[in-house]
Chains A and B, each alone.
Chain A
């Protein structure tokens, strides 16, 4: 029946979405582990710290960007997060993974920044990622429409309370597993799943409401 084939189709997407942070994977042969690098940093090797930055700044940037929806703010947050890591590296707890710690700092800084920024701040079209499948040859009208949808999606995300938005962004935009997210936000796996449930429900309901309002608006306009 249709449901069966549909579920198996979606399973293909699953592997795409469930891509790991990459951080928890063992390093390729010849590359130092995070623990080795951190010990070198603690011994005063600044170039070792550079390799941590190279390894994680891209992902950290996308975590911040997912939460803030702004390139400059995301850069700023990642810089600040690495500076904090640098200052506190001698106290690093080797029982936890480096990326869990780094992402936690990034998330906390980003949430703080969001609180400081006006909640009604509008999202710029420049800050919405290029939609998948869009290309330079795509019709300008279609690209504009996709960008507008991206802005609306960001607005709906921005309306979620912090703890729900955090889980939603880490899961949906950054592809982290619920278990990884639990470590980052220091909650249980069950709590993360519950928040994800609430966040997705809110997201879907809010999106439907917007669509209804849009239809209503267009219908009124037509009259």
Chain B
């Protein structure tokens, strides 16, 4: 019976993940149980296969990565894409009326897009612009240069501009900090996942 209980601890013991109390009991058992001891060794040998894949102790970023990140960040900074400060009107809106912002923004922009669509009917391109979801504020907005945007995954999130529509930009003017989107580099032209937890 004791053996059954201790055997269950072997995978954790092999990676040194037992509590002090568990370890004492396990260590004691191993002194008298060859079968558990062998299995424990087997686990350790198999886990040692992972050693070559381990991260270095104090890993430096690969060459150029810091610069690449900062270039992207500076670009995002120029586009004014920082999230609202807690307590800002934009943040309070988002907090107090969750879900209202995207809907209101979609409605307003849908109207704008409809007008633009009508205006462009005579031209060669009759595609109805897609409406950005989760973007904008119900107060005031000015849309320049008619840029249909793929949905941003969250308010203030990354905007994805279809390649065919570049260079285009959308200006948002509201009670919270105004910002204007920049045409995004190709690397950013993809739908981002909404699985982030912030």
A: residues with CB less than 8 A from B are 1-4, 6-7, 10-11, 14, 16-19, 22, 42, 46, 49-50, 53-54, 57-59, 61-63, 65-66, 71, 75-76, 78-80, 82-84, 86-91, 101, 104-105, 108-109, 111-112, 128-132, 134, 146, 149-150, 153-154, 157, 171-175, 178, 186, 193, 196-197, 200-201, 203-204, 207-208
A42→B85 contact, CB < 8 A: yes
Minimum-distance CB pairs A-B, first 9: A62-B55, A131-B52, A200-B11, A57-B61, A58-B59, A112-B193, A58-B61, A3-B30, A90-B85
Chain B interface, number of residues (Cβ within 8 angstroms): 58
Given known A3-B31, A200-B43, contact A54–B85 (CB-CB < 8 A): no
Pick from B46, B47, B84 the residue with the most CB of A within 10 Å.
B46
Q: B6-43 vs A: 1/0 string, CB under 8 Å?
A: 00100110111100000000010011000001000111
Closest chain-B Cβ to A113's Cβ sits at a distance in Å of 9
B59 touches A61 (CB 8 A): yes
Known: A58-B61, A87-B156, A172-B50. Contact between A104 and B197, CB under 8 A?
A: yes
In the assembled complex, the Cα of A19 lies from the Cα of B55 at a distance in Å of: 10
Q: Report how far A50 CA is from B198 CA in the complex, Å.
A: 21
B58 on interface, CB distance cutoff 8 Å: yes
When the two chains form their complex, are residues B83 and A88 in contact, meaning their CB atoms are under 8 A apart?
yes
Closest to B12 in A: A197
B50: contacting residue among A82, A104, A173, CB under 8 A: A173
Docked-complex contact B27 and A54, CB < 8 angstroms: no
Complex Cα distance, B31 from A196, in Å, reads 25
The minimal Cβ–Cβ distance linking B30 to chain A, given in whole angstroms, is 4
Smallest Cβ-Cβ distance to A171: which chain B residue:
B15
Contact A186 B197 (CB under 8 A): yes
Query: Which residue of A75, A104, A134, A193 contacts B12 across the interface (Cβ within 8 Å)?
Result: A193
- Kindly state the separation between the CA atoms of A109 and B190 in the bound complex, as whole angstroms: 13
| B70 CB, min distance to chain A CBs, angstroms | 6
* Minimal beta-carbon separation of B137 from chain A (angstroms): 17
Q: Decide if B52 touches A132 in the complex (CB within 8 Å).
A: yes
A71 to chain B minimum Cβ distance, whole angstroms, is 7
Question: Which residues does chain A contribute within 8 Å of B17, judged by CB atoms?
Answer: 171, 178, 193, 196
Most chain B CB neighbours (cut-off 10 Å) among A79, A128, A130: A79
Complex: how many Å from CA A75 to CA B72?
13
B83 near A89 with CB under 8 A, answer: yes
